[in-house]
Amino acid sequence: MESAIRYLVTLKMAGMSKHLEILKRYFMRNEPPWKIAELLGMRRLVVKGIAQYFRELLRARTLPSDDQVRKLLDIVMPYIDCIPSYCIHHDNGLVRCTICGEVVKYAEFRDHLRKHHQDLIEKITKSVMTKVISRLGVKLA
């Protein structure tokens, strides 16, 4: 579960709202991939790939059902939605990191965060995990 939450945290920090919207629409609203793709201007296979990748991040022994993923997202997304985006968009597909000020291509910004700001990703992920575990009523040893 932690890797799935880290993925959501990183998407939110990187300002990748389309990816988050795909997960919300696919799992929480049960919308078909073709409809999501049409709404967001993406290919259907990209939508399916993002949903499948997230499901695989939640894998324990078997892949979770759509209902299990939806229940987790119902709990997690309010916390993810509170995380700020750490990029300011510029022209020509460039973004400025609001943490360090570096300007990078938007397509490379998530990698920039993972390379240079992993400590912040981990801090936010741990915070969200603590809230989710508390909400689920899971006791840690």
**Looking at the predicted structure, is the pLDDT value of residue 102 above 50?**
yes
- What's residue 22's pLDDT? 97
- The sign one gets for the Cα dihedral 25, 30, 31, 36 is positive
88 three-state secondary structure = strand
CA-to-CA dists, residue 130 to 14, 41, 119, angstroms: 22, 35, 17
**4 contacts: CB under 8 Å, gap ≥ 6:** 54, 57, 58, 72
43/74 Cα distance (integer angstroms): 25
Model-level pTM greater than 0.85? yes
* Residue 9 contacts residue 80 (beta carbons within 8 Å): yes
Pairwise CA distance, residues 23 & 10, whole Å: 14
Please compute the mean of the pLDDT values over residues 28-44 and round it to a whole number.
96
**What does the mean pLDDT of the chain come to?**
92
Q: What is the pLDDT of residue 139?
A: 52
Q: In this predicted model, which residue has the larger pLDDT, 95 or 91?
A: 95
Please report the pLDDT score of residue 63 as a whole number. Answer: 74
What percent of the chain is predicted at pLDDT more than 70? 96
Per-residue model confidence as pLDDT tens digits over 17-27: 999 999 999 99
The whole-number average pLDDT for the span 49-70 is: 87
Identify the band that residue 141 occupies on the pLDDT scale cut at 50, 70 and 90: very low
Span 111-140, pLDDT tens digits? 999 999 999 999 999 999 999 988 877 654
Nearest to 1 by CA among 111, 110, 133: 133
Q: For 19-43, what is the mean pLDDT? A: 96
